[in-house]
Amino acid sequence: MARRDRDTGGREKRRGSNIISNLLVAVGVVLLIVAGGIYVKNETNYRQIDETNERVAEYAKLTDDAERPPEIDWAGLKAMNPDVVGWLQVPGTIINYPVFHAGNNEVYLNRAPDGSYSIGGSVFMDFENKVPGMDDPQTIIYGHHMRNGSQFKQIADMDKQEYFDGVKLIWYVTEKGAYDLVPLFLYYTFEGDLDVRQFTFENPKEFHKYLNTYFAKAVTKRADAQQIIDQAEHVLTLSTCNYYDGFGRTLLVCIPRNEVPGTPQYEAAEPERAARRAEEKRKEEEARKAEAKRKAEEAKRKAEEKTEAEIAGENPVEEWQEEPQPEEEQPQEEAQPVDAGSEPVAMNGEF
């Protein structure tokens, strides 16, 4: 009897173990199916992104000469999407994308260049920048850090000094012209750092102060970055996400070669800079004279007001005077007795 009970108990335990094992197997199968579905979906999404990028890349004609900017079919691009404002290309990388501009920074997070939905979105310029870019002291362009290597993944990879040094040139092309830039420095910051999004500055000194604030956080940089910053007039900042704790954003600051002292582009642009400095000096002088004139007129006005107030104080004039009322007849006082030896007192006009 006892043996039968033991056998029964053993079968029940085995049955329970089998149920648990079967449940675990079932859960594992479900997880594998879900993981497989996610993998297939991601691969499908990435394939669509690659196909879209390949189609869009046909609007840019590249050459083997990195010193020549891409030739862009602006008419074709605008027919596809009128929001296009520029083209970004980094020789030696897969970065070769149109740049879009919309009324806010949400539009192109998940919108492909052709306007369709895409998890990869598009490369776009900050909505507060003046189009087509490079007019403000700082222009910011955003791109996703895609795990398949597309968009700005290679920008994020420039946090390694060797890779940073290997990127020699960046092209930003607009209908107005082409800008050839070089990497200046790369830094990390947190996603909520709103100070990054500053595009205009009161004067060059404030602009350089801003750049130096983030240069202090540089992860990789040019050896002569500090000297260049002190003379910078414009920068193009490429922004993407990263996956490092405490940060969340990677930003590459680039500068036009014609603003890098010692380069042929810098020397060629010197007459233009001299003319711009002369114009700025003229405007500063005009502003100084206008301010001096304003202060002189203000001082004159205050002096006139003071004089008028002093005159008014010496000759007060009542704006309203009450009409005089006829005097009421006062009752005559009774004569008081006069003590002997006192002075005579006038009574009724007599002594």
pLDDT digits (tens, 9 = 90+) for 77-118: 999 999 999 999 999 999 999 999 999 999 999 999 999 999
Answer yes or no: is 304 within a domain. Answer: no
Q: How far is CA 85 from CA 99, 100, 124, in A?
A: 6, 6, 9
Residues 192 and 50 in one domain: no
Residues 47 and 149 in one domain: no
Structure tokens at 235: 């920068």
Answer yes or no: is 303 within a domain. Answer: no
- Number of domains comprising the chain: 2
Residues 127 and 20 in one domain: no
DSSP H helix total and E strand total for the chain: 8, 11
Residues 11 and 143 in one domain: no
Question: At a CB cut-off of 8 Å and minimum separation 6, what does 68 contact?
Answer: none
* Residue that terminates a domain, selected from 246, 278, 310: 278
Residues 147 and 6 in one domain: no
Answer yes or no: is 324 within a domain. Answer: no
Residues 160 and 241 in one domain: yes
Residues 217 and 134 in one domain: yes
The three-point CA angle 71-172-243 to 5° equals 125
User: Under DSSP, is residue 160 helix (H, G, I), strand (E, B) or coil?
Assistant: coil
User: What is the domain range of residue 72?
Assistant: 63-278
Task: Tell which wins on pLDDT, 351 or 11.
Answer: 11
Task: Tell which wins on pLDDT, 31 or 74.
Answer: 74
* pLDDT of residue 129 exceeding 90: yes
Residues 36 and 87 in one domain: no
The three-point CA angle 215-218-224 to 5° equals 65
Answer yes or no: is 172 within a domain. Answer: yes
Structure tokens at 67: 């010193």
Q: How many CB atoms lie within 10 A of CB 336?
A: 8
pLDDT in tens, 260-275: 999 999 999 989 888 9
Residues 109 and 246 in one domain: yes
* Residue that terminates a domain, selected from 259, 278, 297: 278
Instruction: Give the single-character DSSP code of 295.
Output: H
* pLDDT of residue 349 exceeding 50: no
Q: Mean pLDDT, to the nearest integer, of 116-138?
A: 96
* Residue that terminates a domain, selected from 256, 278, 300: 278
Of the listed ranges 50-64, 65-79, 148-162, 296-310, the least confidently predicted one is 296-310
Domain CATH for 219: 2.40.260.10
Answer yes or no: is 118 within a domain. Answer: yes
Residues 223 and 126 in one domain: yes
Q: How far is CA 100 from CA 67, 68, 78, 81, 105, in A?
A: 24, 22, 10, 9, 10
Answer yes or no: is 243 within a domain. Answer: yes
Q: How many CB atoms lie within 10 A of CB 203?
A: 10
pLDDT in tens, 217-262: 999 999 999 999 999 999 999 999 998 887 899 999 999 999 999 9
Instruction: Give the single-character DSSP code of 92.
Output: T
Q: For position 272, what pLDDT does the model report?
A: 86
Q: How many CB atoms lie within 10 A of CB 134?
A: 20
Answer yes or no: is 318 within a domain. Answer: no
Residues 81 and 35 in one domain: no
Q: For position 343, what pLDDT does the model report?
A: 41
Task: Tell which wins on pLDDT, 36 or 99.
Answer: 99
The three-point CA angle 13-17-18 to 5° equals 115
Answer yes or no: is 208 within a domain. Answer: yes
Residues 128 and 36 in one domain: no
